[in-house]
Structure 1
Amino acid sequence: MAVCGDSRNVVASAKAGVDWTAGFAHLDPGEFPMLWALTPYGDAVFNQRQVPLLLSELDRLPSGLDGAWVGEARELCRVVERGLHLYLWFIGD
């Protein structure tokens, strides 16, 4: 995970990665549209308007899908919210 500007310059990054489990495949896309967009192999990008939705979903994340990455994702969301032209990137393999 990283926060990047318009030119893809990295402003902040996480040390932990998302702990991919089968549970992500079972998330309801109607209830978790932001997290449902994540895949282990592709990139997902969230803009400043999407970050509050992502934060709300992180607060409701089912047990077993949490981990160190959740706290780091919250911190990176705050960086995006405070800045201009910043995006939160979930970078797949």
Structure 2
Amino acid sequence: MVGFPDLSATKFPMLWALTPYGDAVSNQRQITLLLAELDRIPAACGGEWIGQARELCQVVERGTHLYLWLVGG
């Protein structure tokens, strides 16, 4: 995943907070927000990664005491 500096921090707070070199952890309640942002992300920021991110979010949603960990590189 790449950083999203061009996205509005108020409209896309979850995605805007991601950085290419930082780690991020999201709990089940935050996953709902992240999925909503993925549904309305501009096409210019899109790609295959959106489907992969949705799949990972759904795993967290279906489980108990699970977290989505994004590890920067």
TM superposition score category, shorter chain reference: over 0.9
Which amino acid in structure 2 is aligned with residue 39 of structure 1?
T
- The TM-score, its normalising length taken from structure 1, stands at 0.75
Runs of 4+ in structure 1 off by over 2 angstroms are: none
Which amino acid in structure 2 is aligned with residue 45 of structure 1?
V
- The TM-score, its normalising length taken from structure 2, stands at 0.94
More helix by share: 2
RCO comparison, higher one (Cα < 8 Å, 6+): 1
Greater Cα radius of gyration, structure 1 or 2: 1
Q: Following the alignment from structure 2 to structure 1, what is the Cα–Cα distance between the partners of residues 17 and 5?
A: 10
Percent identical residues: 64
- Structure 1 gaps of 5+ residues are 1-17
- Structure 2 gaps of 5+ residues are none
User: 28, 33, 53: which one pairs with 1:73?
Assistant: 53
State how many pairs are aligned.
Answer: 73
